[in-house]
Amino acid sequence: QKEVEQNSGPLSVPEGAIASLNCTYSDRGSQSFFWYRQYSGKSPELIMSIYSNGDKEDGRFTAQLNKASQYVSLLIRDSQPSDSATYLCAVQMFSGGYNKLIFGAGTRLAVHP
Amino acid sequence: DAGVTQSPTHLIKTRGQQVTLRCSPKSGHDTVSWYQQALGQGPQFIFQYYEEEERQRGNFPDRFSGHQFPNYSSELNVNALLLGDSALYLCASSEGRTFEKLFFGSGTQLSVL
């Protein structure tokens, strides 16, 4: 089982729709969760962080966390073609005596006009 | 305000050689993390440096080593290069030995022939 799992996609949504991106993780003790966006040929950039169960909203983005189910998601409302990118879920874990930030493989989102 | 800068941008090496990659963190940041990103995959955590010491480490062999200088800049060294080491190497900086609010550089694309 991978430590952080994401559907690789591509997830294709029409402009103006809600895009829903999902992520599961293996370490029940994880406390910090992040979503990064990576445009093709560019480096990742932080979109949101979430630490508590429930929803956290920032503009068109909402992160959702359910620690009991070991599940974190990202909703993008009113999707725009400029949102087309790979979305990386990252989870901070303690393993092998070290703290690590573990990334999923990413979900590719394509927003079509 | 300069962001995270990495050099070189591209590098070609042959198997068995050694390579050194360099990173200057964002102004005000004191912590540097290194990641390896293979094509189509998420970044894989190599290690984190804070106060000139390796503080956290991922699942990479000892061929991967690093250094942090008093000005917070950092180097990643890879010895005895393998074909499988071909990847994009990303440096990320943050404050205070955390994984919060990572800022990534543009990366060094390493090709091992």
Q: What is the distance, to the nearest Å, from the Cα of residue B6 to the centroid of all Cα atoms in its chain?
A: 9
Q: Share the mean pLDDT of chain A.
A: 95
Share of chain B above pLDDT 90, in %: 92
Report whether B33 contacts B26 (CB < 8 A): no
pLDDT at position A28 is 93
Q: Quick check: B1 pLDDT over 70?
A: no
Q: Which of A6-10, B1-5, B62-66 has the highest mean pLDDT?
A: B62-66
| pLDDT (mean) for B40-65 | 95
Residue B57: both structure tokens together: 């480490």
Q: Which of B55, B101, B104 should one mutate to test binding to chain A, selecting the residue with the greatest count of A CBs within 10 A?
A: B104
Specify the DSSP class assigned to residue B25.
P
Q: Quick check: A86 pLDDT over 80?
A: yes
Cα distance between residue B18 and residue B21, in whole Å: 10
Name B64's Cβ contacts closer than 8 Å, sequence gap at least 6: B46, B47, B76, B77, B78
pLDDT at position A98 is 85
pLDDT at position A9 is 86
The whole-angstrom distance between A5's CA and the closest CA on chain B is 10
Report whether B68 contacts B56 (CB < 8 A): no
Cα distance between residue B2 and residue B113, in whole Å: 33
Q: Kindly report, residue by residue over A38-65, the tens digit of the pLDDT.
A: 999 999 999 999 999 999 999 999 999 9
Q: Which of B31, B56, B94, B97 should one mutate to test binding to chain A, selecting the residue with the greatest count of A CBs within 10 A?
A: B56
| pLDDT (mean) for B75-99 | 95
Cis ω before A14 (30° cut-off from 0): no
Confidence label for B96 from pLDDT (cuts 50, 70 and 90) = confident
Confidence label for A96 from pLDDT (cuts 50, 70 and 90) = confident
| pLDDT (mean) for A17-44 | 96
φ/ψ (deg, to 5) at A21: -115, 135
A-chain CB neighbours of B35 within 8 Å are 103
Q: Kindly report, residue by residue over B14-29, the tens digit of the pLDDT.
A: 999 999 999 999 999 9
